[in-house]
Amino acid sequence: MKKILVIQLKQIGDVLLSSPICNTLKKNYPDSQIDYIVYDYTAGVVENNPNIDNIIKISSKERENKLEFIKLLMKLPKYDICINIQGKIEGLLITLFSRAKMKISWNKKGWRILHTHPVDTDKQMKITGAGNTIDGRLALLSPLGSLDYDRDLKIWIKDEERKNIKKIMESAGINLEKPIISFGVTSRREFRIWPKDRFAKLIDFLYE
């Protein structure tokens, strides 16, 4: 059984956007062990994902204390493949402690260190003709050869959670008989925030 470690630290959206890597790996290597290492506050978006065998959560204590972080890394098992989507020092250290023979990451300055298979994702996406964020991340799997890709983004929700959400929405006066569209209108980075008037036009269009 192959052990595969996928590294994606920060942020919640990134953890979800990188989950198709885990889904694709499990689809092509159903007998493998897929571990996903993330910050604890981002883990919720991938909990209950049947394609992930273990979610390794890095706590705030481990993020802030280098000794605690190293202690966590020393507990990691030996992996066959490590896919580092996070190129900062934490990702590099995790890659090192994974002891994997195949270490995959981006072929960019600062990312090549410690990796055996740096991937030029721009070149790979030109070959495939794909061009979105998910395909850019799935391009990291190119060293593994021809794969059957799973590009779907999905959050697995338990029945109990669905019931709780339903109660909250009903108590807020939301009619569940009608289609529901939600908007995420904010971002911690200002350049990612869409102008309010454009949201208003979109809402008017959808309402009509």
Residues of the chain with pLDDT under 50: 129
Over the range 8-43, which residues count as b (16 or more CB within 10 Å of their CB) and which as e? bbeeeebbbbbbbbbbbbbebbeebbbbbbbbeebb
Cβ distance 185 to 203 under 8 Å? no
Does the residue 132 lie in any domain? yes
DSSP state of 45: G
118 and 193 assigned to the same domain: no
Task: Identify the pLDDT of residue 112.
Answer: 76
136 and 188 assigned to the same domain: no
Q: What is the pLDDT of residues 119-175, one digit of tens each?
A: 987 766 655 545 578 888 999 999 999 999 998 899 999 899 989 999 999 999 998
Total structural domains within the chain: 2
Enclosing domain of residue 87: 3-144
Q: Give just the sign of the alpha carbon dihedral 12, 143, 28, 98.
A: negative
Residue that is written with structure tokens 């192959």 in the block: 2
SS3 for 106?
strand
Does the residue 131 lie in any domain? yes
104 and 195 assigned to the same domain: no
Does the residue 154 lie in any domain? no
